[in-house]
Structure 1
């Protein structure tokens, strides 16, 4: 990365967003581990499968919301990296939320974005397995 003074605000934003991006990954893992734990507790306590599956879906959606937000952050990080490499002064530092607000989708497209995120293999894998496990457990 270049260290010209005009790039310093972009670099500071990159550092902050990168740190947060890594935290989102940890929170996603925590949601997955919580889901696994609650599913096994539900199965051991012989709770109705429908109840367990509803909790799995709720936590799956929460995970997909985190991963969607992480994806938005990643997009901004990539934009900042390109601006720093190209030494672009047209990219305004610390405008992540304003830029997202300007292109914010309507509620239907926002929910669709979360659903698409939930179908990514890295998001879906434990939840699908837990639903199948819940359904086949007597």
Structure 2
């Protein structure tokens, strides 16, 4: 809870912060799945091209989920600013309204996913694994 904050804003902040951290834990499991699939392919020496494809799909999924997480971050920062300004309950519960007002076109949304996919903390380990598996499949 945020000290000296409107209760509705404080509850929204707590909920969004908890969801933000849940995304983080879930995304770490997704990375672990990528590593596990890659290890299976590298150890077994087979189906590397299919595993590379699966890792690329997991990479894209992480980028999409990171984009959702980033939206939560934007709203969390907005709530913190509202608390500093002494806003009241009418400012609470505006996550989707604010996102919809700022949302771009479909192409803009895809570009946002791509930007998130290329962030170093998202690309690693997926890019390395795709390259390793791709190289392995070329050697077969």
Q: CA deviation at 1:104?
A: 2.1
**Which residue matches 1:16?**
15
**Which residue matches 2:31?**
32
- 1:1-138 maps to which residues of 2 (within 5 A)? 1-3=2-4, 7-89=6-88, 92-137=91-136, 138=139
- Number of residues of Structure 1 aligned to a counterpart in Structure 2: 136
**Is contact 2:82-2:91 (8 Å) kept?**
no
Q: TM-score, normalised by structure 1?
A: 0.89
The alignment partner of 2:91 has SS state of: coil
Unaligned ranges ≥5, structure 1: none
**Is contact 1:31-1:63 (8 Å) kept?**
yes
Q: CA deviation at 1:2?
A: 4.0
Structure 1, residues 25-84: CA drift from partner, whole Å, max 9, x if none?
011101100111111112233333321211111000001111111111001000101111
Distance 2:87 2:4 in 1: 13
Q: CA deviation at 1:90?
A: 8.6
Distance 1:23 1:2 in 2: 23
Distance 2:46 2:14 in 1: 45
Give structure 1 regions of 4+ aligned residues with deviation exceeding 4 angstroms. none
What is the RMSD of the two structures over their aligned residues, measured on CA atoms?
Answer: 1.8
